[in-house]
A and B are shown apart, each in its own frame.
Chain A
Amino acid sequence: MTRRERALRTARRGMIVTAIGLAGLAAAYLWGSIFAPIERTQGPAQKIFYVHVSAAWSTLLAFGLTGLLSLGYLILRDRKFDLLAAASAEVGVAFAMVMLTTGPLWGKPIWGTFWTWDARLTSTLFTFLLFVGYLVLRGALTDFDVRARFSAVLGVMALVLVPFIHVTVLWFRTLHPEPVVLNTEGAGLPWSMLSPLLAAVAACTTLYIGFVTQRYALAVLRDVREEEAAGGLS
């Protein structure tokens, strides 16, 4: 089987995973918005929580994996790591956009403002911009080897930077609700709300895998095409 055929097969598998993820997401949202109880103080506005938190989870997963895959590329110098890191960063930026739009929609009725320079919001915004920068850098480099090395360096740097940004803005001041999901003391999230959330998180993770698989297959196909073009010229 040629590299091209393998990539096409990967793309098809990615499409199936994405379809499962989308169906799961629809089901989880229906569950969350219709069957889960309405929160007493926040009212229906709280429903966006299921979208927001699961998108946030996928963003974290995507950016974390981009950093680790970058590190993997620098050590092993395997093309796969580079293409996967790029795919993960791109999907992460998409999920981050979902998180950054649903957050303000909830913030307006609950906090009375769309945006506030709270620690979690600020560090998310900077992380988002950091990975947009990562994609911009990739776009500005044409040579495969240079692009892979440079973006891997940036990916590793980003992985180390994010905790620093978080501490910095946390010390500045914070307002965001404390985590309620894994909070062991005090008021935790009731099971009737936790279960649709976990379903949404699982769906978003599936969706993440589906998107990255497809994006990766596309990158491989593009790579094959470039090689063919280079071979045709010589």
Chain B
Amino acid sequence: MAGSSVASVAFAVAAKDLRVEWRTKTAFISSMVFAVLVLAVLYFARDKTAVGDFSIAPGALWVTFTFAGMLGLNRAFLIERENRALDGLRLTPASPTGIFLGKIFGNLVFLGVVELVSLPLFILFYDVPIWRQLPVLLLVVALATVGYVAVGTLLSAMVVRTRFSEVMLPVLLLPFLVPPIVSAVQLTWRIMALRPLSELTGWLSLLASFDIIFFTLSLFLFEAILIE
């Protein structure tokens, strides 16, 4: 059946997830409010006379994205746990790869929107005039988000089977976020400080290789998680 190709399954799963989200908007609104709160709280988490806005800004941005993303990732498979919807999904002839790609895509859209809304707020709150460097910063955000979401989606599919999934996800996921988030913070301050592009290439390639390797690995390993 041509209708069950990997791409169409992925699209169907992502569309279903986003439609559910669109109708309630609970997770999105909470993630958004949460992101604004973290940005605002981190602004005060320092000695203002010793640490300037500029020094604290890159870390604050990425801590915000990390925490806000965690809320969205937990949701992706929690909605499948209700009424054992995951079993229903598993019984369909849809390929696990398609389901996984769909989940990744849904999460990417979710986190992408949260990031796109909080980025201007970040620029306003921390008073960092980086409108000109925005394309490079958006590239960094995109690269870091892809790696984050690929690993996060895989791990959230596992922790949803445990009793304390909300606590388990950060415990398992945060070590995996060390390479992408550290790279992203390093790149963000360099972009803000108007450093030449040659200073960015090292961290950018680390970020890109993390994405490629972990995206592929997650894709292969998801089958072992879904198939009983």
Chain A interface residues (CB < 8 Å from chain B): 74, 126-127, 129-130, 133, 136-137, 140-141, 145-146, 149-150, 152-154, 156-157, 160-161, 164-165, 167-169, 171-172
A residues less than 8 Å from B172 (CB atoms) = 133, 136-137, 154
State how many angstroms separate the Cβ of A7 from the closest Cβ of chain B: 27
Cross-chain contact of A168 among B151, B168, B171, B183 (Cβ < 8 A)? B183
- B217 contacts the other chain (CB 8 A): yes
Q: Do B171 and A136 touch (CB < 8 A)?
A: yes
Measured CA separation A152–B171 after assembly (Å): 17
A residues less than 8 Å from B206 (CB atoms) = 164, 167-168, 171
Give the nearest-CB partner of B158 in chain A: A150
Interface-side segment among B86-94, B102-110, B220-228:
B220-228
Q: Do B175 and A153 touch (CB < 8 A)?
A: no
6 smallest beta-carbon distances between A and B, as pairs? A140-B162, A130-B175, A164-B179, A168-B179, A150-B158, A153-B221
- B161 contacts the other chain (CB 8 A): yes
Chain B interface residues (CB < 8 Å from chain A): 151, 154-155, 158-159, 161-164, 168, 171-172, 174-176, 178-179, 182-183, 186, 202-203, 206, 210, 213-214, 217-218, 221, 224-225, 228
Q: What would 15 more interface pairs be, CB under 8 Å, given A154-B155, A165-B179?
A: A133-B172, A137-B168, A140-B162, A141-B161, A150-B225, A153-B224, A153-B225, A156-B217, A157-B221, A160-B217, A161-B176, A164-B178, A164-B206, A164-B210, A171-B206
Q: Do A126 and B161 touch (CB < 8 A)?
A: no
Q: Do A137 and B182 touch (CB < 8 A)?
A: no
A residues less than 8 Å from B202 (CB atoms) = 171
Give the nearest-CB partner of B181 in chain A: A168
A141-B161, A168-B206 given as contacts; is B178 within 8 A of A156 (CB)? no
B residues less than 8 Å from A127 (CB atoms) = 175
B164, B175, B213, B214 interface centre (most CB from chain A within 10 Å): B175
Measured CA separation A53–B213 after assembly (Å): 31
State how many angstroms separate the Cβ of B163 from the closest Cβ of chain A: 6
15 contacts between A and B (CB under 8 A): A126-B175, A133-B172, A136-B168, A137-B172, A140-B163, A141-B161, A149-B224, A153-B221, A153-B224, A157-B214, A160-B213, A161-B179, A165-B175, A167-B206, A172-B186
Q: Do B203 and A137 touch (CB < 8 A)?
A: no
Measured CA separation A102–B75 after assembly (Å): 41
State how many angstroms separate the Cβ of A77 from the closest Cβ of chain B: 9
A136-B168, A154-B172, A157-B151 given as contacts; is B178 within 8 A of A149 (CB)? no
Measured CA separation A23–B217 after assembly (Å): 43
B residues less than 8 Å from A129 (CB atoms) = 174-175
Measured CA separation A172–B202 after assembly (Å): 12
Cross-chain contact of B168 among A74, A140, A146 (Cβ < 8 A)? A140
State how many angstroms separate the Cβ of A108 from the closest Cβ of chain B: 26
Q: Is the interface of A mostly helix, strand, loop or mixed?
A: helix
Measured CA separation A178–B214 after assembly (Å): 30
Measured CA separation A204–B94 after assembly (Å): 49
B residues less than 8 Å from A167 (CB atoms) = 179, 206
Q: Do B210 and A150 touch (CB < 8 A)?
A: no
A133-B175, A165-B175 given as contacts; is B224 within 8 A of A154 (CB)? no
Measured CA separation A152–B213 after assembly (Å): 18
A140, A145, A156 interface centre (most CB from chain B within 10 Å): A140
Q: Do A146 and B151 touch (CB < 8 A)?
A: no
Cross-chain contact of A157 among B168, B203, B210, B217 (Cβ < 8 A)? B217
Q: Do A153 and B158 touch (CB < 8 A)?
A: yes
Measured CA separation A79–B202 after assembly (Å): 42
A residues less than 8 Å from B174 (CB atoms) = 129
State how many angstroms separate the Cβ of B109 from the closest Cβ of chain A: 24
A156-B217, A157-B151, A160-B213 given as contacts; is B171 within 8 A of A133 (CB)? yes
A140-B163, A145-B228 given as contacts; is B182 within 8 A of A157 (CB)? no
Q: Do B214 and A160 touch (CB < 8 A)?
A: yes
State how many angstroms separate the Cβ of B104 from the closest Cβ of chain A: 15
Measured CA separation A167–B206 after assembly (Å): 9
Give the nearest-CB partner of A143 in chain B: B161
B residues less than 8 Å from A168 (CB atoms) = 178-179, 182-183, 206
